[in-house]
Structure 1
């Protein structure tokens, strides 16, 4: 049985039966059959479905947003924005996919030499709870456009969202089995991945889980895309607009209650402006409102589970014991639900828990450095490499510094964010492969060379 809880109150929302072995078998068979028919449709025909999915998402936006807020605690305005971003992504691929997947002609002595993009088949998507609609849509929209089918194994604390996603595609007119939700425990993922009808897997989650899935998929010679943990640096150099950086730092750290792989987590600031930055960061953070996520004035909701809050507080306590200074917050919020006060730790050093570990919640770690070179070295001194932000007034230098940062994306003077137009993914322990953009849509394709010589 899968049980859904409201993290704002701790109250039970509902209970959902697990799929029986025969249910999983039926979904696998239907997915394989649906994909064989789907791959024969033109890209343009497939894109009609994506455009309709976008309409369904927008038509039911309030319902889906309320579901997200109830199950994982995202403030309602952010939940509505998640649905809109999901719809935008479907619209984007409905327009762009035919170009991205068009045959690429290669000059040669042959009569016709080209590269074509064939679908791989049924793709298993193991998805997290923190963006319960968007994480799946950002995979599914390009994967379906490319001719694949999708089997969703969602996080078990968002079962309502998991079931609703399959309903979205069904309402949009997808053939039975093209998009299915598996209601299974994590222990059953290995069996599904091993099934011959599953061609590939995509996973967004922790590095530890990613390694397990990668090992199994590798042993089966099945394609993987892994988007894993992150400890993103937010670098503020001495020539930056400090106030602008501090204001953006609030959004970069505390959106989605800090529960995002690409949230800024380590704020690496040059000594010359560190006091100003911390003061401005604290002042802007004090304006946040923690509380009921269904209240539109709330900007910070609860953490999704109680263990996430206790783990986060342990990281804070261990960092403070090692010498970090609590500039703001630093404690759980009393009362029902899993709330934690927006927290800024100053004078964090690289060996402290808040710098070494991924802090998945509303805690920011400020690390002071003496120069831009030291800032880049500090940014790279982590096992992760997902995103990074760089704040500087010297845009010419910014380009050279960005090339030195070990991350899948570097945003200069802006907020690190996923965008359907741009490839998204990481390096090092943050995973491999790319989602989104022209590169992402080709991840679950067979990039096939077709060489046709002259007739004899």
Structure 2
């Protein structure tokens, strides 16, 4: 079942029945049938519809933020910020998409050729709950401009977000057979991917889900984009203002209650700053990030998305302490609701589970590095490779360190984040492919070579 359970209280608000197998087959048929007409529409017409969608998302920001607060506990202010990024993404592809899909002439030996950039067909999108609108936007906006059609399966705790997104796109002028929401279950995904009418799949989610979908997609030769987990390092080389650095890095870690794939989960501090930084960070998260109602603007730390999520993160913290980690702050599960105190762990070593796993909640792990080389070693000692950040006062040094980090994205003197014109994605077990920016429209593109003459 798809369901809405208020994470503040743990009370079930609504249940939505899964789509039947027949309904899923009909949805696949619809997006396949809608592809022929949609791909033939002038790209400027498709871009105009995408531009209108961005306007409608902005107009309905308050409503969407309230839905996210109810479904997964997001603070209202963060929900409004998310919808702002969504509107930016639709505007970016509406404005730049036609140029990004224009024919590309190339010189070849003995003549000329053109790279014709076009769509590939109907796509399946499998979306997560942590950013219910943003994750959909970065998959949908470029592919609508390109000319692909979309079957969208949202997270099981986000049926209201899923329905609202479909309503907005329809109101913007997206034909009913070009974007179709399905309340399919995970059990039905293999059949969708085996269907020859589906040309590709994009998934944002857990490593386990990514492995399962990639196996099915590979078996059926479907083009795939995967944005999976991360355990992003944040390296602090030096600072001109330690309090400012503590505040900025704490905020980056606790944003969205720590439920962001590219949040800085491992904070690596050079030895000279380590003790003072760890002490101030523990005080900061204890005093400032106090759990509260996400609908209250004064709240700094909302609940996690579900009771199960809160229980899982609390268990990871308890396991780390049991294995020898030091609990510097927080760690307590708070009920009723899906709350966990903002937490700081230190003294985590490679033999502990917390060293290599992703902790998807308000938990920061702080590591001591002997020097720059040791910091880079710690940063790269992870199976993940989504993002990273380097903090310091010397720009040349920051860049030198950034170049040695194994990740798909590195930020200097800021942590994580996302913007419409900057490609997003990782390496290693953090996934395959890129979204956003010019690269985001190319993943499900047919770059057709046409030899002239």
| Shorter-chain TM-score tier | over 0.9
* Aligned counterparts of 2:178 and 2:389: Cα–Cα separation in 1: 38
Choose 296-305 or 282-291, whichever is displaced more: 282-291
Give, in whole Å, the separation in 1 of the partners of 2:398 and 2:448.
Answer: 38
Provide the residue aligned with 2:321 in structure 1.
320
Matched, 1:302 2:300: no
> What is the CA deviation profile of residues 371-413 of structure 1, one whole-angstrom value per residue up to 9, with x for unaligned ones?
1101101111010000001112221122221111010000011
Match status 1:372 vs 2:372: yes
Which residues in structure 2 correspond to 1:441-452 (within 5 Å)? 441-452=441-452
Q: State the alpha-carbon separation in 1 of the partners of residues 382 and 99 from structure 2.
A: 38
The equivalent residue for 1:203 is: 203
CA–CA distance in 2 between the matches of 1:2 and 1:442?
Answer: 32
> Any conservation in 2 of the 1:349–1:367 contact (CA below 8 Å)?
no
Shift of 1:354: 2.6
Partner of 1:277: 277
Distance 1:78 1:3 in 2: 22
Residue 347 (structure 1) shift: 2.4
Name the SS of the counterpart of 1:225 in structure 2: strand
The offset of 1:304, in angstroms, is: 1.1
Aligned positions, number:
452
Could you tell me how far apart the structure 1 residues matched to 2:46 and 2:420 are? Answer: 18
2:447 counterpart SS class: strand
* Residue 114 of structure 1, CA deviation: 1.6
Instruction: Give 1:27 shift.
Output: 1.5
Within a 5 Å distance, the mapping from 1:288-437 to structure 2 comes to 288-333=289-334, 335-437=335-437
Structure 1 pair 351/418, CA: closer, same or farther in 2 (3 Å)?
A: farther
**1:247 maps to what in 2?**
247
Does the 8 A contact of 1:331 with 1:340 survive in 2?
Answer: yes
Partners of 1:350 and 1:244 in 2: how far apart?
Answer: 30
Moved more, 79-88 or 197-206: 79-88
Taking structure 1 as the reference length, the TM-score comes to 0.96
Show the counterpart of 1:72. 72
Residues 263 and 415 of structure 2 are in contact (CA less than 8 Å); yes or no, is this contact kept in structure 1?
no
CA distance in 2, matches of 1:27, 1:208: 26
Give the aligned partner of residue 173 of structure 1.
173
Secondary structure of 1:397's aligned partner: helix
The answer for unaligned runs of 5 or more in structure 2 is none
Q: Distance in 1 between matches of 2:8 and 2:25?
A: 36
**Paired residues for 1:183-194 under 5 Å:** 183-194=183-194
Q: Is the 8 A contact 1:289 1:297 kept in 2?
A: no
8 A contact 2:234–2:415 mirrored in 1: no
CA deviation profile, 1:7-43 (whole Å, cap 9, x unmatched): 1111112121221222222211221121211111122
Q: Distance in 2 between matches of 1:228 and 1:380?
A: 17
**Distance across 1 between alignment mates of 2:63 and 2:269:** 42
* Structure 2: distance between partners of 1:110 and 1:450: 14
Q: Which moved more, 1:285-294 or 1:147-156?
A: 285-294
Cα offsets for 1:275-334 (capped at 9, x unmatched): 22123323332212311111111121111122211211121112112222222111112x
Paired residue for 1:23?
Answer: 23
The answer for the alignment partner of 1:135 in structure 2 is 135
SS at match of 1:348: coil
User: For the Cα contact (< 8 Å) 1:124–1:151, is it kept in 2?
Assistant: yes
Query: Structure 2: how far apart are the matches of 1:321 and 1:240?
Result: 36
- Larger mean CA deviation between 307-316 and 349-358 belongs to 349-358
Contact 2:19/2:184 (<8 A) preserved:
yes
The within-5 A match list for 1:4-153 is 4-108=4-108, 112-153=112-153
CA separation of 1:450/1:369 partners in 2, compared to 1, >3 Å: closer, same or farther?
same
Is the Cα–Cα contact under 8 Å of residues 328 and 345 in structure 1 kept in the other structure? Answer: yes
> Quick one: distance in 1 between partners of 2:3 and 2:417?
31
CA distance in 2 between partners of 1:104 and 1:417 (Å): 32
Residue aligning to 1:234: 234
Secondary structure of 1:281 counterpart: helix
CA distance in 2: counterparts of 1:16 and 1:8, whole angstroms: 20
- Superposed CA RMSD in Å reads 1.4
Q: CA deviation at 1:87?
A: 0.9
